[in-house]
């Protein structure tokens, strides 16, 4: 615990050092090297505490009567590992990537404090330090989002991010305040000891609002696709891979630890939100051609998958089915880990493409697999993992989620009976759309022929970035091959939170995994991998030995009409067109108009398409409109005479006294 | 153990050997129904051998992905096929992957095929990849919902267990099973690029999907992809046979005498399937691409309905 707090202090000091030495040539190396080392330490501390008894510590800061309390239990330890992995990967990547930064003095001072905030949220053990750390995390990441503030898009992104971050802070403040009760028991230990609050449902909804807007739950996801492209790539990786996970942590901490057993309807709400988030996030992603926006929307989808797992766990827990809840929560947490790994990898890849070509727009890329073969390989691994292809890790967590859906205990509530299978269909739809989305993202960016000179002249990135990407890819593979290790590591956590756990996996023959004790379903990642590898190798060897091995290079065939111009290739827009037509015409009111030139005119025909963002139109635009209207009306208040102001003060005083008198 | 290993090996070899034959029989059937004589049923083998012996003509800007994808696609499909019981349920490695894993393995093969289609950067490759992924985005969830409804019945996603359950008397006639079967057939047609979703016999047509993706392939690469496609067709038919028509499937320890029965019934089932598929494909026209989502959407809704029914009542 002391070590961890020293780590946090060192990160804060590193931020100060970054501010002092930002323009110095070795400033980047010092800051990122230091945060890499500290993240490794934090991750290792987390790893060591996964199975250990909770450890607490108090600092004489914060609220004077309770101090700043910290605690590492199994849940905090798991998320520390996630923060350590994601933060360490981002720091390693930034050792190379950060050298291209044009304004290091706007990035270096805030990166280590952001990491410190992430760690502090996870280990905070009273409401005050929790909220303080939460705001530290929000503000530091906001500063990183607006690092390149000359771009008007980025300042808009920063504003919207800040607005939603304040909303999440406010909601969590209210939720924790209600949990603490009128006596002000802000320490988490006191909240846990107190009897379940009668306002439990309200607290849960506030937690959902607070954590959900930070995590990117639809309809509160609006900041992700704006903020992620604006921030430097390693920061996007950290925000998307780790910060949204810390938001998931906040939700789990409040709902599963502090609040006591939930009502069954809360499971329905979370399941519905999770399912909608998963499908809508992926549909949005399919409509994007900015690489980082696409990844941001895919984060929204993955948050949806995680919340489906959490919703299942809540539904099962509300009905006293602890083993099922343990399976669903394990699936959710496994996906937390997986998403931190592959989304970091993919953002690193997007950053590599950005630094090699200066482009984020897939329509200006293409053919990068020839110029950046290693980056392409790493990104391909990430795409396969996020598309839930075996034997990689994304498949395992989705497999576990499906197994949780398949449990079908006798739930008495009709809401759950209908919602759980519907979520199964939504999850399946999201997974299939994710495959389409990442075929498109990888295919347009890395395959085909270069669409611009920048893409044609790209070069491979530096070795730090490559090491970070390949390292994340390797972890994706390992987590997919040996999922039993992860599941067993999560077992003490499940035991602590739910009083039940998944069956021990490592004792099973051949390291298979099974979802529940009596199940007759199993999956074996490494064996499947060995089968695929062996079948591939044998086929290649046999064919090259006994059949032909001759190769001749020739121009592409293309049905006899090859056109050398790269513009004849499929673009990201055209690739998504069938899906846009199938799903988008309903969801986004997608509309296509072909403008034909008049007869005799030799000008080109044009196609125009329009998309509407339903959530922006239905939620954000009206809210923004009403706030502007209200501000206009209130503007009068700024230009009153002193007598009127004094009159208002008097009226307010009388009103408050009246309320106080009536209250008693 | 040794016996199980033998069965597993025999089954893997069997599907590999039978796959081109099944394709050949379907083609023959269609030719006869169209009053043509048609190529001999062994023609797919000859095609494969011919392709294997030829040199590969590789497009100038094809990458390593393009060259490795055919082998990986074949391997993924073969591993998936190895997990589907054909004539006996006692597969040694059947526990290493369940139906969800089989779908995901086929999904991985499709993922690679779509990428390979985009690798050379031709317009046909893109069109094929784009449409394939659109079709998959509806077919895959439908397939998963079918699996879920089957698993809710049998209590397991393991194909061997499901087959054993279907063999037992606990099944009875169920609405959900009927819905699942219809949905499964629709999905199977789409997954294997058959009429009415796609036409396996055409080239150079704007409606093509699968053939457009593999347009740049030649020689041994094309042979691998053709073999993988044939394997996938056989795998799907075997899966339908072992789930919905498991009669004669050799199961249990006294299997030795039952293996001949299992093999014979498997051959009979394949024959019936080939006849039905050929007849169906001859009697129906290919759909426009944007009619396909409606067709597959029906499968998705049917399978969701089957799952919902099972969630609501265990008797349906």
DSSP A423-482: HHHHHHHHHHHHHHHHHHHHHHHHSS--SSHHHHT-----HHHHHHHHHHHHHHHHHHH-
Rounded to whole angstroms, the Cα distance separating B145 from B139 reads 10
Smallest CA-to-CA distance from A121 within A274, A240, A244 is with A244
In chain B, the number of structural domains is 1
Token pair in block for residue B121: 């950067």
Q: How far is CA A252 from CA A174, A255, A264, A268, A343, in A?
A: 17, 5, 16, 16, 21
Rounded to whole angstroms, the Cα distance separating A355 from A97 reads 8
β-partners of residue B58 are: A553
Smallest CA-to-CA distance from B128 within B139, B116, B140, B138 is with B116
Q: How far is CA B201 from the centre of its chain?
A: 17
Of A369, A370, A528, the CB nearest to B101: A528
CB A554 to CB B58 under 8 A? Answer: yes
Query: Taking the CB of residue A611, how many other CB atoms lie within 10 A of it?
Result: 14
Backbone dihedral angles phi then psi of residue B297, each to the nearest 5 degrees? -60, -35
pLDDT over threshold 70, residue B41: yes
Q: Which residues lie below 8 Å from residue B186, measured CB to CB, with a gap of 6+?
A: B142, B295, B296, B298, B299, B302
Rounded to whole angstroms, the Cα distance separating B72 from B224 reads 9
Bridge pairing between strands A551-554 and B56-59: parallel
Q: How far is CA B126 from CA A87, A285, A509, A609, B245, in A?
A: 37, 19, 44, 20, 38
Q: How far is CA A218 from CA A175, A279, A300, A550, in A?
A: 20, 10, 8, 53
Token pair in block for residue A86: 């994601």
Rounded to whole angstroms, the Cα distance separating B198 from B215 reads 15
Of A421, A523, A582, the CB nearest to B97: A523
Predicted local confidence at residue B111, as pLDDT? 96
Give chain A positions within 8 Å (CB) of B133.
435-436, 439-440, 575, 579
Instruction: Decide: helix, strand or coil at residue B88.
Output: strand
Bridge pairing between strands A606-610 and A591-595: antiparallel
Predicted local confidence at residue A663, as pLDDT? 81
Rounded to the nearest 10 degrees, the angle between the axes of helix B64-82 and helix A373-386 is 30
CB B133 to CB A440 under 8 A? Answer: yes
Q: Where do the structural domains in chain A lie, given as residue ranges?
A: 1-208, 261-542, 570-610, 614-663
Maximum separation of any 2 CA atoms in chain A, in Å: 100
Q: Are A117 and A143 in contact (CB under 8 A)?
A: no
Rounded to whole angstroms, the Cα distance separating A64 from A334 reads 38
Chain B 36-55, residues with CB within 8 Å of chain A CB atoms: 52-55
CA distance, residue A447 to nearest chain B CA (Å): 5
**Probe site for chain B from A308, A388, A540, A566 (most B CB atoms < 10 A):** A540
Predicted local confidence at residue A194, as pLDDT? 83
Token pair in block for residue A587: 């969801």
pLDDT over threshold 80, residue B175: yes
Give chain A positions within 8 Å (CB) of B82.
531
**Probe site for chain A from B122, B183, B191, B197 (most A CB atoms < 10 A):** B122
Q: Which residues lie below 8 Å from residue A331, measured CB to CB, with a gap of 6+?
A: A309, A312, A397, A400, A401, A403, A404
Q: Which residue of B has its CA nearest to A549?
A: B55
Q: Where does residue B138 fall: left (phi above 0), alpha (psi -120 to 50 degrees), or beta otherwise?
A: alpha
Q: Kindly report the CA angle at A45 between A44 and A46, in degrees rounded to 5?
A: 90
* Rg value, chain B, Cα: 19
Predicted local confidence at residue B252, as pLDDT? 60
Rounded to whole angstroms, the Cα distance separating A412 from A417 reads 8
Q: Which residues lie below 8 Å from residue A462, measured CB to CB, with a gap of 6+?
A: A96, A97, A99
pLDDT tens, B8-28? 888 889 999 999 999 999 999
Number of Cβ pairs < 8 A linking chain A and chain B = 282
Smallest CA-to-CA distance from A262 within A324, A312, A333, A210 is with A312
First-to-final CA distance of chain A: 47
CB A448 to CB B74 under 8 A? Answer: no
Token pair in block for residue A174: 């209210």
Rounded to whole angstroms, the Cα distance separating A50 from A493 reads 7
Rounded to whole angstroms, the Cα distance separating A288 from B86 reads 44
User: Which letter, b or e, does each residue of B56-90 get, where b requires 16 or more Cβ atoms within 10 Å of its Cβ?
Assistant: bbbbebbbebbbebbbbbbbbbbbbbbbbbbbbbb
Q: Which residue of B has its CA nearest to A428?
A: B141
CB B141 to CB A429 under 8 A? Answer: yes
First-to-final CA distance of chain B: 38
Domain that includes residue B213, residue range: 2-312
- Residues in chain A predicted with pLDDT less than 50, given as ranges, are none
CB B152 to CB A532 under 8 A? Answer: no
Predicted local confidence at residue A172, as pLDDT? 96
CA distance, residue A225 to nearest chain B CA (Å): 23
Rounded to the nearest 10 degrees, the angle between the axes of helix B159-167 and helix B219-244 is 40
Rounded to whole angstroms, the Cα distance separating B282 from B26 reads 11
CA distance, residue B119 to nearest chain A CA (Å): 5
Give chain B positions within 8 Å (CB) of A455.
none
Of B58, B125, B141, the CB nearest to A428: B141
Of B55, B93, B304, the CB nearest to A527: B93
CB A436 to CB B136 under 8 A? Answer: yes
Rounded to whole angstroms, the Cα distance separating A389 from B115 reads 14
Smallest CA-to-CA distance from A487 within A358, A334, A346 is with A334
CA distance, residue A228 to nearest chain B CA (Å): 26
Determine the average pLDDT of the residues in B186-190: 94
Token pair in block for residue A139: 């503000």
pLDDT over threshold 90, residue B1: no
CB B52 to CB A548 under 8 A? Answer: yes
Predicted local confidence at residue B253, as pLDDT? 58
Give chain B positions within 8 Å (CB) of A510.
96
Rounded to whole angstroms, the Cα distance separating B250 from B260 reads 9
CA distance, residue A492 to nearest chain B CA (Å): 26
Rounded to whole angstroms, the Cα distance separating A483 from B212 reads 37
CA distance, residue A593 to nearest chain B CA (Å): 17
Whether B301 and chain A come into contact, CB under 8 Å, resolves to: no
Rounded to whole angstroms, the Cα distance separating A336 from A344 reads 12
Token pair in block for residue B101: 């894993």
The secondary structure element, H or E, covering residue A56 is strand A55-59
Confidence band (pLDDT; 50, 70, 90) for B205? low
Rounded to whole angstroms, the Cα distance separating A349 from A375 reads 7
Q: How far is CA B300 from the centre of its chain?
A: 18
Give chain B positions within 8 Å (CB) of A367.
61, 121
Tell me the HSE value of B186 on the side-chain side, using a 13 A CA sphere.
Answer: 27
CB B138 to CB A388 under 8 A? Answer: no
CB B61 to CB A556 under 8 A? Answer: yes
Enumerate helices (H) and strands (E) in chain B, giving the number of each. 11, 1
Token pair in block for residue A343: 């989304």
Give chain B positions within 8 Å (CB) of A535.
74-75, 78-79
CA distance, residue A426 to nearest chain B CA (Å): 8
CA distance, residue B10 to nearest chain A CA (Å): 15
Token pair in block for residue A94: 């930034």
Whether B97 and chain A come into contact, CB under 8 Å, resolves to: yes
DSSP E strand boundaries for chain B: 56-59
CB A577 to CB B130 under 8 A? Answer: yes
Give chain B positions within 8 Å (CB) of A425.
141, 144-145, 300, 304, 307
Q: Kindly report the CA angle at B293 between B186 and B230, in degrees rounded to 5?
A: 45
Instruction: Give the length of chain B.
Output: 316
Whether B101 and chain A come into contact, CB under 8 Å, resolves to: yes
pLDDT over threshold 80, residue B277: yes
**Probe site for chain B from A393, A542, A551 (most B CB atoms < 10 A):** A551
pLDDT over threshold 60, residue B255: no
Rounded to whole angstroms, the Cα distance separating A475 from A479 reads 6
Q: Which residue of B has its CA nearest to A412?
A: B312
Chain B 104-133, residues with CB within 8 Å of chain A CB atoms: 104-105, 107-108, 110-111, 114-115, 118-127, 129-131, 133
* Rg value, chain A, Cα: 26
Token pair in block for residue A72: 């590492």
Token pair in block for residue B300: 């998705």
Bridge pairing between strands A591-595 and A551-554: unpaired
Q: Which residue has the tokens 């759909």?
A: B287
CB B304 to CB A421 under 8 A? Answer: yes
DSSP state of A361: B
Global model pTM greater than 0.90: yes
Q: Which residue of B has its CA nearest to A374?
A: B64
Q: Which residues lie below 8 Å from residue B47, measured CB to CB, with a gap of 6+?
A: B223, B226
Whether B158 and chain A come into contact, CB under 8 Å, resolves to: yes
């Amino acid at each position: 615990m002391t070590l961890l707090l020293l780590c946090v202090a060192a990160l804060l000091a590193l931020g100060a050092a970054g501010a002092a030495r930002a323009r110095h040539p070795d400033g980047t190396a010092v800051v990122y090297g230091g945060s890499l080392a500290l993240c490794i330490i934090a991750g290792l501390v987390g790893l060591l505490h996964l199975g250990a008894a909770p450890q607490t510590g108090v600092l004489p800061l914060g609220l004077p009567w309770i101090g700043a309390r910290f605690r590492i239990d199994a849940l905090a330890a798991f998320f520390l590992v996630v923060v350590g992995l994601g933060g360490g990967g981002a720091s390693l990547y930034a050792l190379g990537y950060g050298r291209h930064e044009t304004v290091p003095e706007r990035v270096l001072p805030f990166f280590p404090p952001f990491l410190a905030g992430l760690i502090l949220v996870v280990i905070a053990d009273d409401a005050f330090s929790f909220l303080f750390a939460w705001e530290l995390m929000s503000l530091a990441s906001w500063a990183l989002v607006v690092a390149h503030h000359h771009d008007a898009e980025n300042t808009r992104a920063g504003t919207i991010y800040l607005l939603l971050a304040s909303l999440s802070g406010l909601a969590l403040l209210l939720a924790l305040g209600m949990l603490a009760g009128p006596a002000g028991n802000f320490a988490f230990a006191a909240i846990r000891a107190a009897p379940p609050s009668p306002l439990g449902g309200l607290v849960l909804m506030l937690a959902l609002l607070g954590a959900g807007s930070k995590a990117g739950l639809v309809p509160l996801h609006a900041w992700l696709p704006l903020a992620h492209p604006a921030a430097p790539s390693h920061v996007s990786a950290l925000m998307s891979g780790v910060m949204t996970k810390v938001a998931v942590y906040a939700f789990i901490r409040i709902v599963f630890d502090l609040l006591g057993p939930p009502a069954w309807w809360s499971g329905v709400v979370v399941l519905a939100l999770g399912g909608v988030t998963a499908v809508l996030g992926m549909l949005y992603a399919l409509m994007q051609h900015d690489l980082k926006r696409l990844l941001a929307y895919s984060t929204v989808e993955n948050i949806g998958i995680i919340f489906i797992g959490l919703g299942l766990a809540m539904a099962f827990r509300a009905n006293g089915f602890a083993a099922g809840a343990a399976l669903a929560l394990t699936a959710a947490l496994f996906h937390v880990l997986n998403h931190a790994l592959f989304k970091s990898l993919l953002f690193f890849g997007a950053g590599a493409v950005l630094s090699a070509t200066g482009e984020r727009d897939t329509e200006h890329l293409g053919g990068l697999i020839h110029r950046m073969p290693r980056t392409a390989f790493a990104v391909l691994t990430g795409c396969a993992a996020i598309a839930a292809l075996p034997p990689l890790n994304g498949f395992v967590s989705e497999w576990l989620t499906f197994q949780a859906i398949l449990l079908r205990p006798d739930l008495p509530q009709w809401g759950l009976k209908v919602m759980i299978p519907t979520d199964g269909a939504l999850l399946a739809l999201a997974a299939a759309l994710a495959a389409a989305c990442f075929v498109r993202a990888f295919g347009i960016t890395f395959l085909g022929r270069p669409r611009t000179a920048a893409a044609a002249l790209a070069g491979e990135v530096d070795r730090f970035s490559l090491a970070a990407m390949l390292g994340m890819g390797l972890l994706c593979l390992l987590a997919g091959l040996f999922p039993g290790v992860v599941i067993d590591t999560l077992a003490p956590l499940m035991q602590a939170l739910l009083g039940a756990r998944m069956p021990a996996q490592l004792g099973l023959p051949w390291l298979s995994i099974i979802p529940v004790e009596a199940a007759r379903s199993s999956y074996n990642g490494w064996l499947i991998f060995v089968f695929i590898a062996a079948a591939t190798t044998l086929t290649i060897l046999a064919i090259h030995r006994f059949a032909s091995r001759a190769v001749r290079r020739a121009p592409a065939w293309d049905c006899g009409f090859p056109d050398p111009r790269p513009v004849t290739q499929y673009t990201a827009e055209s690739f998504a067109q069938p899906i846009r037509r199938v799903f988008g015409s309903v969801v986004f009111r997608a509309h296509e108009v072909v403008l034909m030139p008049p007869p005799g005119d030799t000008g080109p025909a044009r196609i125009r398409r329009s998309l509407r963002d339903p959530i922006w139109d239905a939620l954000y635009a009206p809210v923004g409109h009403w706030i502007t209207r209200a501000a206009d009306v209130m503007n009068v208040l700024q230009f009153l005479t002193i007598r009127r102001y004094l009159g208002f003060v008097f009226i307010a005083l009388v009103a408050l006294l009246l309320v106080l008198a009536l209250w008693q | 153990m040794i016996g199980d290993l033998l069965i597993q090996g025999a089954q893997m070899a069997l599907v590999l050997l039978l796959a081109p034959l099944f394709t050949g029989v379907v083609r023959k059937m269609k030719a006869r129904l169209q009053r043509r004589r048609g190529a001999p049923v062994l023609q797919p083998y000859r095609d494969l051998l011919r392709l294997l012996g030829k040199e590969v003509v590789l497009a100038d800007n094809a990458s390593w992905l393009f060259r490795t994808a055919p082998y990986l696609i074949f391997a993924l499909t073969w591993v998936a096929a190895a997990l589907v019981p054909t004539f006996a349920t006692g597969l040694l490695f059947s526990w290493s992957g369940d139906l969800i894993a089989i779908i995901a393995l086929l999904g991985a093969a499709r993922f690679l095929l779509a990428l390979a289609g985009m690798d050379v950067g031709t317009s046909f490759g893109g069109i094929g990849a784009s449409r394939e992924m659109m079709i998959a985005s509806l077919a895959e969830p439908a397939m998963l919902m079918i699996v879920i409804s089957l698993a809710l019945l049998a209590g397991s996603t393991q194909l061997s267990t499901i087959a054993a359950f279907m063999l037992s008397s606990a099944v009875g006639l169920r609405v959900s099973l009927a819905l699942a079967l219809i949905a499964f057939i629709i999905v199977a047609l789409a997954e294997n690029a058959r009429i009415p979703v796609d036409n396996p016999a055409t080239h150079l047509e704007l409606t093509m999907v699968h053939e457009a993706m593999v347009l740049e392939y030649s020689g041994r690469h094309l042979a691998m992809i053709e073999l993988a496609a044939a394997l996938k067709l056989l795998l799907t038919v075997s899966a339908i046979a072992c789930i919905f028509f498991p009669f004669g499937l050799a199961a249990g320890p006294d299997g030795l005498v039952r293996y001949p029965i299992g093999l014979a019934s498997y051959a009979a089932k394949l024959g019936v399937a080939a006849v039905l598929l050929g007849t169906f494909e001859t009697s129906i026209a290919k759909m426009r691409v944007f009619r396909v989502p409606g067709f597959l959407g029906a499968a998705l809704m049917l399978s969701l309905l089957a799952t919902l029914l099972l969630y609501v009542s265990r008797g349906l």
